[in-house]
């Protein structure tokens, strides 16, 4: 009797860990200008059991190089690799219409704690630590672009591994070229409720809600300076050794005064597919499409949606930890997405 009970518990635990392996990658929008805004991170529909804890540690390093066409045209005539912050501050671009320039890296770490608190309900808290600045990856990105013969979109006209963010519109003028270092970002409170009445044996459904509190410095791109909130619908389909996840989210973003955005509603969606490889690993591919928070600023390059593809591997360590690593790339349109990014993380249940 006791042996049978232990075997049953081990089977349930193994099933839970297998579900973690097949969960989507918890990767949000990586665009440099969007770092302070709230975005839903993809997740599965299944919620934690009552009194069960799940702790996640996520890390992201993303490289952005994006600018208005007029700035690209003007800098192409310069010799060498000038300091873009100096050029943009010189006044040669003033009065030329709405313009933007975003060159730098986002280094972001998140600690997320979730707990099952009742039947079909879990609550969570996310604490981000973020830094926008220069970095190490510009030579790597340029080398890969040369190798693939896809061009560098003007990267070789400015200094490498520097940070410059510039926005000039009729309502706002923003220029920064120096990071204050790591700082706390906006804190997110989340809840997810599974909908058992709509489920079948292999399909799970849930609705998630979130509110983000303005703890980060909007001027340093660590926060938005406003309360953000959203709702998301999640559907997961489980197959013998695979899973498919889809979600649609609606987020009400408060205004970001340093960047000049007003309160608005943006939508996003994610489709993810995962497949088990052996007993302790899985491969995941997913596409996330997000509306740009800057589409009302008159910046032609930032009016479209960002399209972000993530491909990664998850591996179970021991009986309670799952680790992942992923590569992220933008597709279809390139001006309002991070050019490239790396994500990694750990998940532990207890």
Confidence band for 6, pLDDT divided at 50, 70 and 90: very low
Average pLDDT for residues 2-11, to the nearest whole number?
A: 39
Q: Encode pLDDT of 256-283 as tens digits.
A: 999 999 999 999 999 999 999 998 999 9
Q: Does position 219 have pLDDT exceeding 50, yes or no?
A: yes
| 84 burial level (CB within 10 Å; 0-12, 13-18, 19+) | buried
Q: Does position 342 have pLDDT exceeding 50, yes or no?
A: yes
3-state DSSP assignment of residue 238: strand
Percentage of residues of the chain with pLDDT beyond 70: 83
Q: What pLDDT sits at residue 67? A: 85
Q: Does position 150 have pLDDT exceeding 60, yes or no?
A: no
3-state DSSP assignment of residue 337: coil
Q: What pLDDT sits at residue 38? A: 96
Q: What pLDDT sits at residue 28? A: 92
Q: Encode pLDDT of 161-204 as tens digits.
A: 778 898 988 888 898 887 778 899 999 999 999 999 998 989 99
Cα dihedral 148/151/155/157 (nearest 10)? 130
Instruction: Give me the residue label for tokens 């997961």.
Output: 236
Q: Does position 54 have pLDDT exceeding 70, yes or no?
A: yes
Q: Does position 4 have pLDDT exceeding 80, yes or no?
A: no
Domain 2-349 has CATH 3.20.20.70: no
Q: Does position 18 have pLDDT exceeding 60, yes or no?
A: no
Q: Note whether 340 and 329 are within 8 A (CB).
A: yes
Q: Does position 97 have pLDDT exceeding 80, yes or no?
A: no
Average pLDDT for residues 65-76, to the nearest whole number?
A: 80
Q: What pLDDT sits at residue 3? A: 46
Q: Does 311 or 77 have the greater pLDDT score? A: 311
Q: Does 240 or 332 have the greater pLDDT score? A: 240
Strand segments, DSSP code E, in the chain are: 53-67, 99-118, 121-133, 164-168, 173-176, 183-184, 187-194, 203-213, 228-238, 242-253, 264-277, 281-290, 306-317, 321-330, 340-349
Q: What pLDDT sits at residue 66? A: 84
Identify the DSSP state of 138: H
Contacts by residues 9-14 (CB-CB < 8 Å, ≥ 24 positions apart): 13/319
Confidence band for 316, pLDDT divided at 50, 70 and 90: very high
Compute the mean pLDDT over every residue in the chain, rounded to the nearest whole number: 85
Q: What pLDDT sits at residue 119? A: 87
């Amino acid at each position: 009797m006791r042996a049978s009970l232990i075997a049953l518990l081990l089977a349930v635990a193994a099933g839970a860990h297998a579900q973690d392996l097949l969960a989507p990658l918890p990767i949000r929008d990586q665009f440099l200008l969007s770092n302070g805004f709230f975005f839903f991170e993809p997740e599965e529909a299944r919620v934690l059991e009552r009194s069960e804890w799940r702790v996640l540690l996520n890390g992201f390093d993303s490289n952005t190089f994006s600018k208005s066409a007029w700035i690209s045209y003007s800098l192409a005539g310069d010799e060498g690799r000038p300091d873009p912050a100096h050029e943009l501050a010189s006044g040669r671009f003033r009065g030329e219409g709405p313009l933007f320039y975003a060159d730098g890296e986002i280094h972001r770490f998140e600690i997320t704690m979730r707990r099952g608190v009742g039947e079909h309900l879990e609550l969570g808290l996310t604490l981000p630590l973020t830094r926008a600045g220069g970095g190490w990856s510009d030579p790597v990105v340029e080398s890969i672009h040369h190798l693939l013969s896809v061009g560098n979109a003007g990267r070789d006209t400015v200094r490498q591994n520097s940070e410059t963010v510039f926005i000039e519109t009729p309502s706002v003028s923003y220029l920064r070229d120096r990071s204050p270092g790591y700082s706390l970002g906006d804190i997110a409170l989340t809840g997810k409720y599974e909908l058992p009445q709509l489920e079948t044996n292999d399909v799970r459904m849930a609705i998630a809600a979130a509110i983000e509190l303005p703890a980060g410095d909007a001027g340093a791109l660590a926060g938005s300076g406003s309360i953000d909130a959203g709702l998301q619908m999640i559907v997961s389909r489980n197959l013998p050794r695979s899973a498919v996840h889809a979600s649609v989210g609606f987020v009400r973003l408060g205004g970001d005064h340093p960047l000049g955005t007003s309160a608005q509603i943006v939508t996003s969606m994610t489709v993810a597919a995962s497949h088990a490889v052996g007993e302790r690993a899985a491969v995941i591919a997913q596409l996330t499409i997000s509306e740009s928070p800057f589409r009302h600023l008159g910046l032609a390059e930032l009016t479209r949606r960002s399209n972000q593809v993530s491909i990664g591997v998850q591996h179970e360590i021991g009986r309670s930890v799952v680790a992942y690593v992923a590569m992220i790339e933008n597709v279809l349109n390139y001006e309002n997405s991070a050019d490239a990014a790396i994500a990694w993380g750990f998940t532990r249940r207890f």
